[in-house]
Structure 1
Amino acid sequence: MNCPCCKHRDIGKIGTKHYYCRHCCIEFLVYRGKLSLYEISEDGTIESLDDLFQEAELGDQKWIIS
């Protein structure tokens, strides 16, 4: 799997269908084929990036993860 933001392959799993890109420090969650992106703030909180990205920007990759 590649990161939906930077396309890097250095992805870690941090929960059920919840992943972290070590390259660009983005968390992403895959639920029912929908991708949600989060940025980690300096204080450790996460902020949604869903309003910044549109489906076209994420490409045609299928986000079905077993």
Structure 2
Amino acid sequence: MDNPDSSLNGNMGKKKTKELKVLDPKAAQNLSILLGGALKHIPYDDLRICILRCDTTVLTENLLQ
């Protein structure tokens, strides 16, 4: 009988490593203030897209300073 998982057996011994990142307390506090203030009307998913696209209609120069 042909086992569909037989091709995966070679990769069973390998583990994925997860890269962890930590924000310093000052950066975390500044982000918290920003998300709770000027950007609180934007859902997090939409805000993420705006950041990735560098959307200047949402991320104004004054907001980023």
TM-score by structure 1 length?
A: 0.23
Point out the structure with the larger strand share: 1
Whose Rg is larger?
2
